[in-house]
Amino acid sequence: MASNDIDFDEEFEKYLHQMFHIKPCDVKSKCDESVVEYFGVLSLTDIRSPERRLWYIYYSKQPEVDETLNRIFHKYGKKNMCEIFRKHTFSGVALRARVKSYFQDRKWHVKGNLLEAPAKCSFNSDQMIKVITELHHEERKMLYNFLCMKHNGMRKYFY
């Protein structure tokens, strides 16, 4: 991380503390893991045509992640898949839609949860991780900006 980059999580937490006038505490709060959603990407290798570049996107709540992955592994074969990305997110459905529309705009073949790079494209898993990470950060910034907008609107009434 460069010296001029800011850590979004820390800035977001500081802003929330300021917004709701909460003093920061050292004790980590316990959250209900059953409501935390995860979004992930699996790199898929087609053994019949290894030159195809495929990725499978998924989302699920925390307790259902293992069950979802087992279902996917059973369908495509565990040897043919490798998880390259998994992050918690505010809405897995929204991030999935954002990822699908991003790749559809670039003329990729998108069907269900499968993403396939065009035949003459040199896209690899490292580039996929970078793109998905950027889309994840955009989603979080959108939430942050929404909260800032609401806070500024409420501040007019209370200050």
Residue 64 belongs to domain spanning: 35-158
Please count the structural domains in the chain: 1
* Three-state SS annotation for 66-92: HHHHHHHHHHHCHHHEEEEEEEEECCH
Instruction: Give every residue of the chain whose pLDDT is below 70, as ranges.
Output: 1-6, 22, 24-34, 157-159
In a domain, 143, yes or no: yes
pLDDT for 89? 85
What is the spatial distance between Cα 59 and Cα 40, in angstroms, rounded to a whole number? Answer: 6
pLDDT for residue 7: 76
Assess if residue 111 is contained within a domain: yes
The separation between CA 31 and the C-alpha centre of its own chain, rounded to angstroms, equals 19
Q: Is 2 among the domain residues?
A: no
pTM: 0.73
